Amino acid sequence: MKKIFQTMIRIENNLKLFKSTTTTGINFNKDIIQNEIKLLVVSVLSELQEDDLVVAAKLIEFSNEELIHLTKIHYDLEKKEIDGKEYILENIIIQFPESVLRKQSITFISTRSSGLDKGYNTLIMSKSITKLNKLFLHWLKSNQGLIIKSLTFNSSFSIQIFKYLIRNINDLQELGDIEIDFDTSFTQNGSLNTISVEIKNIELQKFKNSEDGHDDEVASGIFKYLELSTTLNFNRLEISRLKTDLLTIQSSGKLNFKKIPKLAKNDFVFFTTFDFILMIYENLVKVV
């Protein structure tokens, strides 16, 4: 696989993904914008102090004005051109006063190219606590006029990701054992909300050896095998989670990277975390 490009903006683990209308009109580097973000942080800290004695003890002597001053906002911007498209990467890192919480980050990827469905052209990757995430997204909607929707992965896209992984690794051993959860909450007469299936890596190796070498055929063969061996009708079930040694994805738009290189591909994994994110971005309008 050809390396697309490297970026100095770090792609974090344990992300929640969203899609939105363009953020390119927001100058996150302006003092007035950063001060508004700091106010969100102070609001979150006020709530946390009511529930968390450790946070309360560390911040009890600080006024709101002092907390605003102690909150640090770091902003990075990168622009890259690929195949005639200009990609814009923006990253916001929030550092809390007295390090009461780990650093939070929110990353935006967008493009100036036209033609994306319904005006969604920005992928938002959030690694932040729930309280801050909700406030920040609400601020983007109400103060900056963005339309934001949680990015979800349907079964078709989850299978597409599975095929992507198989095509871009040196050996199926890199995947480890695979766990696939199927959501059954929408079915009638079902007492379980989730059905979990585990495929040992040694079984994956058998598929690689038995197929004619085409990676997509290997992936298709695995799901055919599951249907035959479990009597499950996958046409009626939605994949809610796909877990491998490389990454875990959930249909709710959660993504956790594990053994995928961040800066450059290696002899075992032929893509980086950013290559993977860009693949998701390019399929943004196809994801329901």
Q: Is 4 contained in some domain?
A: no
Report which of 258, 245, 196 is spatially closest to residue 15, judged by C-alpha positions. 258
Mean pLDDT of all residues in 178-200: 78
Q: What is the pLDDT of residues 29-76, one digit of tens each?
A: 899 999 999 999 999 999 988 888 888 898 888 999 999 999 999 999
Q: What is the pLDDT of residues 67-95, one digit of tens each?
A: 999 999 999 999 888 777 788 899 999 99
- Only one residue has tokens 């992984």, namely 165
Report which of 109, 220, 219 is spatially closest to residue 168, judged by C-alpha positions. 219
Domain that holds residue 168: 155-251
Q: What is the pLDDT of residues 237-253, one digit of tens each?
A: 889 999 999 999 999 99
User: Do 70 and 163 have their domain in common?
Assistant: no
Report which of 85, 136, 75, 126 is spatially closest to residue 278, judged by C-alpha positions. 85
Residue 161: both structure tokens together:
């990701």
**Domain endpoint, select from 126, 150, 174:** 150
What percentage of the chain exceeds 90 in pLDDT?
46
What is the CA angle 65-66-71, rounded to 5? 100
User: Do 141 and 38 have their domain in common?
Assistant: yes
Residues 124 and 151: their CA atoms lie apart, in Å, by 9
DSSP 8-state secondary structure symbol assigned to residue 252: T
Q: How many domains does the chain have?
A: 2
Q: Is 261 contained in some domain?
A: no
284: pLDDT confidence band, cut at 50, 70 and 90? low
**Domain endpoint, select from 101, 130, 150:** 150
Residues 139 and 133: their CA atoms lie apart, in Å, by 10
User: Do 144 and 161 have their domain in common?
Assistant: no
Report which of 215, 195, 193 is spatially closest to residue 204, judged by C-alpha positions. 215
